[in-house]
Structure 1
């Protein structure tokens, strides 16, 4: 990997934490320069503007989240256990700050629902990818006769996402992990009570 690519990836990694913590509007180019310890020209050698950095930073943060989810799911064997592993990741996001700033989808969606259309679109695509992966796990559970055949897959995905993301938002807002724990407990109860045969 060339020096230029190393610098570009460094800028993306360092910016990701800023954007995911402070948001697009709250992150200035001067903060990016200071955190990355590069000159302004060094930024513009790799990115046309702040928008380009923000989009690359979101992609990086979302890739981090996907890796955390993939690693957690890989250690589980049944669809129900895989869904439960997702709860563990969301608790880790709060209690261990494994992804600086928390969930990039939630943070980007909240800030850009009426703001930055490209970032909103990125968050929509990321959420769609997450929902698709959840749906695949639920369908697998139905096929394996672990989950009820009458389960509405889309509704189940919505419930799980709403609970974990809502719990994450409350925990971030109040700096208290009990909210994510309450919500993940409800996800566990939902999986065992409404999905599992």
Structure 2
């Protein structure tokens, strides 16, 4: 890998943690420079402005979430275990701080609702991808007769994501992982009582 590419990836990685904890508005270009240990000119060699860094940082953070989910689902033997793996990853986001600042979709959705349309668009696309992945798992479970055939995958996805992201938000706001654990437990009960076949 060339030195320029290494530097660019370093800026993205460091900025990702910064934006995910301080937010787009709260993280200044000075913060990025200080955190990366690179001069202003070094930043501008790779990015035109803060917006460009923020978009690349969001993409990086979301790719980390996807990687964590993929790793956790590797050993899942059925669709139920694949869904439960999502709960486990979100608990780890809070308890192990595996991704500085937590979920980039939640953080970006809250902050960029109206103020930054490009970041909002990125968060929407990321959420749509998450919906697609969940829908695929649910449809697979229906086809394998693991889940009931009359469940609505879109409705299930909405419920699961809303409950898990809500638990994440409460845990971050109140500095207590019990909320993500409570919400994950409710998702697990929902899978057992509302989705399982037989």
TM-score range, shorter chain: over 0.9
1:175 maps to which residue? 175
Give the secondary structure class of the aligned counterpart of 1:154.
Answer: helix
1:36-83 CA distance string (max 9 Å, x none): 000000000000000000000000000000000000011111000110
1:52 maps to which residue? 52
- Root-mean-square deviation (Å): 0.4
CA distance in 2, matches of 1:172, 1:124: 21
Once the two structures are TM-superposed, the CA of residue 123 in structure 1 deviates from its matched residue by 0.2
Give the secondary structure class of the aligned counterpart of 1:114.
Answer: coil
Once the two structures are TM-superposed, the CA of residue 115 in structure 1 deviates from its matched residue by 1.2
1:83 maps to which residue? 83
Gaps of 5+ in 1: none
CA distance in 1, matches of 2:75, 2:93: 18
Pair 1:43-2:43 in alignment? yes
Pair 1:130-2:130 in alignment? yes
Report the TM-score, using the length of structure 1 for normalisation.
0.99
Pair 1:116-2:116 in alignment? yes
CA distance in 2, matches of 1:62, 1:85: 17
1:87-107 CA distance string (max 9 Å, x none): 000000000000100000000
Gaps of 5+ in 2: none
1:99 maps to which residue? 99
1:13-58 CA distance string (max 9 Å, x none): 0000000011100000000000000000000000000000000000
Give the secondary structure class of the aligned counterpart of 1:132.
Answer: helix
Pair 1:73-2:73 in alignment? yes
CA distance in 1, matches of 2:132, 2:110: 21
Once the two structures are TM-superposed, the CA of residue 122 in structure 1 deviates from its matched residue by 0.1
1:165 maps to which residue? 165
